[in-house]
Amino acid sequence: MADIFQNSNKIEDELINVGSDRACVIVGAALLEDVLRALLAEYFTHKADSNKLFDHSGALGTFSAKIELSFHLGLISDYEYKLLNKIRDIRNRFAHRTCMSSFQDDPGIKDEITAVLTINDKLWFRLKLVHADEALVKISSDNPWKREYVKCILWLRLALYHRIIHARHTIPEPVTPFVDSLDMQEFLCNSVESWINRCNIKMQDLREMRNFASENNGSQELASNIETNISLCKKQIKENKEHLSICQKIKKLIHEKMIEEGLLDNKQ
């Protein structure tokens, strides 16, 4: 698949200049579906075999499946999830109703665009810096719903591109086959230990946030939220240390028993 970052300006022009509202809706949704596919593919460890997942009959062949998996793997935020599902819903209504050719044909859609898909100025500012507003001027002022729809598509595309960049800096590694029972237990111990380390890092970050908030007269609500999260981290660390201790004892037992059974030598 070609790099998703190529021809982005051409795609933007096509989205804005496409004739009917129906075409705009379908093209916009297809654009986001392609970007979601690229995002998911970044996390696949067996990329050569992943194309079949995106076939029409594949597990990720639908827009809905791509949205759901991206969200439940934590690759997109709940806000992006909400926007994408609304885009998908509007796309389906235009695609499956012959009477739908314009946003004017369904007052409900107009209300939903205004209520759900309107991107606030703070989020839009990044695109404003690259003159995206100038492109939106090409859309008739008589059709504010199309303008908001396109604006949402452009913002979501940018947000998902940022998610892809993040993915390219956090490349997952494929797991290796287990050698034996001891190797399986070692894997479990390492996983629990890794989780403890992540909790410790998170707790350190929270403590720094607490200090910063205190020095800058942060609100009581913020301080309370930080303390709650620190307490939760402490609890998770304590529980996982207990879990790790049990895992290590089981690992030692497996090691001893495998030596007794002649499955390992004393040097291993």
Each domain of the chain, given as residue ranges in start order, spans 8-168, 181-260
pLDDT of residue 32: 94
pLDDT of residue 1: 42
Does residue 87 have a pLDDT over 90? yes
pLDDT of residue 250: 95
- How far is C-alpha 39 from the chain's CA centre? 8
Inter-residue contact 40 to 70 (CB < 8 Å): yes
pLDDT of residue 197: 92
C-alpha closest to that of 117 among 91, 143, 155: 155
Please tell me whether residue 155 adopts helix, strand or coil conformation.
helix
Who wins on pLDDT, 47 or 197? 197
Inter-residue contact 75 to 100 (CB < 8 Å): no
Instruction: State the average pLDDT over residues 113-120.
Output: 88
C-alpha closest to that of 124 among 159, 81, 85, 161: 159
What is Dmax (Cα atoms) for the chain? 82
Which fold would CATH assign to domain 8-168?
Four Helix Bundle (Hemerythrin (Met), subunit A) (1.20.120)
Inter-residue contact 204 to 159 (CB < 8 Å): no
Q: For 21-52, how does the pLDDT look when each residue is reduced to its tens digit (9 = 90+)?
A: 898 899 899 999 999 999 999 888 887 788 89
Half-sphere exposure for 171 (CA within 13 Å, toward CB): 6
Does residue 15 have a pLDDT over 90? no
Residues of the chain with pLDDT > 90: what percent? 42
Average pLDDT of every residue of the chain: 86
User: Using CA atoms, how far apart are residues 52 and 37, in angstroms rounded to an integer?
Assistant: 12
User: Using CA atoms, how far apart are residues 39 and 170, in angstroms rounded to an integer?
Assistant: 12
Does residue 80 have a pLDDT over 90? yes
pLDDT of residue 10: 66
pLDDT of residue 132: 75
Reported confidence tier of residue 177, pLDDT bands at 50, 70, 90: confident
pLDDT of residue 53: 92
User: Using CA atoms, how far apart are residues 240 and 188, in angstroms rounded to an integer?
Assistant: 12
Instruction: State the average pLDDT over residues 106-114.
Output: 86
pLDDT of residue 267: 66
Instruction: State the average pLDDT over residues 152-167.
Output: 89
C-alpha closest to that of 206 among 194, 218, 191: 218
By mean pLDDT, which of 27-41, 121-135, 136-150, 239-253 is the weakest? 121-135
Does residue 111 have a pLDDT over 80? yes
The DSSP output letter for 103 is G
Q: Which amino acid is at 38?
A: A
Does residue 169 have a pLDDT over 90? no
DSSP string, 104-124: GG-HHHHHHIIIIIPPPHHHH
User: Using CA atoms, how far apart are residues 254 and 264, in angstroms rounded to an integer?
Assistant: 10
Reported confidence tier of residue 2, pLDDT bands at 50, 70, 90: very low
In three-state form (DSSP H/G/I as H, E/B as E, the rest C), the secondary structure along 38-85 is HHHHHCCCCHHHCHHHHCCCCCCCCHHHHHHHHHHCCCCCHHHHHHHH
Does residue 149 have a pLDDT over 60? yes
**Environment class of residue 107 by beta-carbon count within 10 Å: exposed (0-12), middle (13-18) or buried (19+)?**
exposed
- For the entire predicted model, the pTM comes to 0.72
Beta strands in the chain (DSSP E): none
Token digits for 133?
A: 């507003």
